[in-house]
Structure 1
Amino acid sequence: MTPILEARHLSRHFGALRAVDDVSFSLAPGELLALIGPNGAGKSTCFNMLMGQLRPTAGTVILDGTDITGKKPRHIWRMGVGRTFQITATYASMTVAENVQVALLSHHRRTFAFLPYATRLYRDEARALLDTVGMADQADRHAAILAYGDLKRLEIAMALAHAPKLLLMDEPTAGMAPRERVALMQLVADIVAERGVSVLFTEHDMDVVFAHAHRIMVLNRGQLIANGAVEAIRADPKVQEVYLGGGTLFSAERAHA
């Protein structure tokens, strides 16, 4: 099976600092892959190279068999890559449904339609996407008054408007209460299962990672030090040492509580 995403010997240097240093990995279709590591490990730099915000110093990024190294973010987005950010990016003055409609207008290349009648376009599609993320009943509320967890769900609906084959999610549960984190990542896991979307996400909450990731990669000081199944990563002595200072990773019972 052809990987949906491959990073081959990916590096990014800032002067003498090697923020990402010879990182290689692949992501299978329908896989939920976690990228973890201490602050400053290189996770965001890696994401920015995958999405085109940064050009690699060395290495190659392959999307579904096509070399996308150095392409602009808008071109990569058009090729089927969506991204959500740690800080949500929604339009506070618009309703929930209108936010999704804007994303659909862009997907259908109808940005010229940002006129009063644009609110009549793609209503049914927007409602269907909101139903996917459990927000159909909030379609007519303004984004400005949404709870933070609902804003995260709205951002996922907007990302899905482009029908992506790959989602890059940068700390999707940041700033959320523990129960909200679990619910949001369960939603993402359901989308992966139902739509076959591949997801690469960064996350600091180990409960979330262990409960939902199919596989885990660990970065430290720009280098990939571990890549494997959840239980293998949990027991890896190097991961224990560099990521949690020699402490014991959470038990399976706690991760699934």
Structure 2
Amino acid sequence: MTPALAAEGLVKAWGGLRAVDGVSFTLAPGEMLALIGPNGAGKSTCFNMLNGQIRPDAGRVRLAGRDVTGLPPRAIWRLGVGRTFQVTATFASMTVLDNVRMALLSHARRLLGLWRPAAREFTAEAEALLTRVGMADQAGRPCGVLAYGDLKRLELAMALANQPHLLLMDEPTAGMAPAERMALMAETAAVARAGGIAVLFTEHDMDVVFTHADRVLVLDGGRLIAGGAPEAVRADPRVRQVYLGGGPA
């Protein structure tokens, strides 16, 4: 099976510092892959190369076998890559439903000069996406009054608007209560596995990582130091030393 995502020898240096140094991995359709590591390990730089925000100094990025190295973020988004961010990006004065409509309109490449036509576009599709993430009952509420956990679910619905084959999720549970974190990632896993969507996520909450990831990759100093099933990574002595606090497994 062709991987949904393949990173091949990615390198990015800032001056004399190699933020990412020869990182390679693959991600299968429907797989949940966590990328973890201490602060400064290179996670964000790696993510930004995959998403097209940063061009690698060396290496390749392939989506379903297609070389997309150096393409801008919008071009990569149009190829079926959704992304969520550590800080949510929604229109606070618009309703939940209208935020999802705007994402759908963008995916359809429609430019509308007036808001009124937009209100008639993609209602059913937007409602279906909100149902998938458990937000259908809040469709008419302004985003500005939502709880933070609900904003994260809305952002997931918007990320699904381009019918992605790959989701890149940067700290998806940041700022959420522990129960909300588990619920959001359970919803994400269910959506991903039902639709065959590959998910790569960074996360500092190890309970979330070891509960929901199929595999875990660990970065330290820009290099991958471990990778595999969650329990194997948790027990790895080097991982425990540099990230999980040391001590016996």
Which blocks of at least 5 consecutive residues in structure 2 are unaligned? none
Secondary structure of 1:120's counterpart equals coil
Which blocks of at least 5 consecutive residues in structure 1 are unaligned? 250-257
Identity of aligned residues (%): 67
Give a deviation string over 1:121-172, Cα, whole Å, max 9, x none.
1111111100000010000000000000000000000011110000000000
Secondary structure of 1:201's counterpart equals strand
Q: Quote the residue 2:188 is aligned against.
A: 188
Count of residue correspondences = 249
Secondary structure of 1:111's counterpart equals coil
Deviation (angstroms), 1:21: 0.4
- Partner amino acid for 1:221? G
Deviation (angstroms), 1:108: 1.0
Distance 2:205 2:61 in 1: 27
Change in 2 beyond 3 A, CA 1:30/1:74: same
For residues 1-257 of structure 1, the aligned pairs below 5 Å read 1-112=1-112, 114-248=114-248
Distance 2:29 2:202 in 1: 18
- Partner amino acid for 1:202? T
Deviation (angstroms), 1:120: 1.2
Distance 1:117 1:45 in 2: 39
Distance 2:187 2:162 in 1: 18
Distance 2:30 2:179 in 1: 25
Shifted more, 180-189 versus 111-120: the winner is 111-120
Task: Note if contact 1:105-1:113 (Cα within 8 Å) is conserved in structure 2.
Answer: no
Consecutive aligned runs of 4 or more in structure 1 exceeding 3 Å deviation: none
Deviation (angstroms), 1:113: 5.3
Deviation (angstroms), 1:114: 4.7
Distance 2:224 2:22 in 1: 8
Distance 1:9 1:218 in 2: 15
Change in 2 beyond 3 A, CA 1:107/1:207: same
Secondary structure of 1:90's counterpart equals coil
Distance 1:165 1:90 in 2: 22
Distance 1:111 1:162 in 2: 16
Distance 2:163 2:235 in 1: 37
Distance 1:114 1:33 in 2: 41
Deviation (angstroms), 1:248: 5.0
TM-score normalised by the chain length of structure 2: 0.98
